[in-house]
Amino acid sequence: MRREALAEGLRWLEQAQTDLRWARHLWKEGAYYLVCFLAQQAAEKALKGFLYAQGEELVIGHSVRQLCGRAGEYDPYFQRNMDDWGLLDSYYIPTRYPNGLPDDIPARVYNRPAADGALLLADQVMEAVAARLSKA
């Protein structure tokens, strides 16, 4: 791993960790829809960080599942978890827009169990990426 590539990957991971920290703060406030969205964002950024650390120069896309597939080209662990972690993709759009849900708004639909599950998945992604970048 090139030093510059690793530094860029760690930069993305740091932002992902910050997003997840704020998600936990919002969980305490009951803003579960935002927790779900930030969990998706944190996982996405962590995976992008992993890919940048591998030397990729442009990582485009927002799908956790697809990013896991790409990361799996470097480490099969990501491929094995892409279906589970890909569940976070369901929080990318509908947690933000009223027209993403039929007849309701995200602030009323997303609840504590959804937020708990999203945090758990994001934690798993974060731990996997952090462990691999710390070995580099």
Q: Give the per-residue pLDDT at 102.
A: 86
Note the pLDDT of residue 1: 66
Q: Three-class SS string for 10-23?
A: HHHHHHHHHHHHHH
CB atoms within 10 A of CB 31: 18
Per-residue model confidence (pLDDT) at position 99:
92
Domains and CATH numbers, the chain: 1-134 (1.20.120.330)
Residue 136 DSSP symbol: -
- Angstrom distance (rounded) from CA 96 to CA 40: 12
| pLDDT for 49 | 98
pLDDT tens digits in sequence order for the chain, 136 residues long? 699 999 999 999 999 999 999 999 999 999 999 999 999 999 999 999 999 999 999 999 999 999 999 999 999 999 999 999 999 999 999 999 999 888 999 999 999 999 999 999 999 999 999 999 998 7
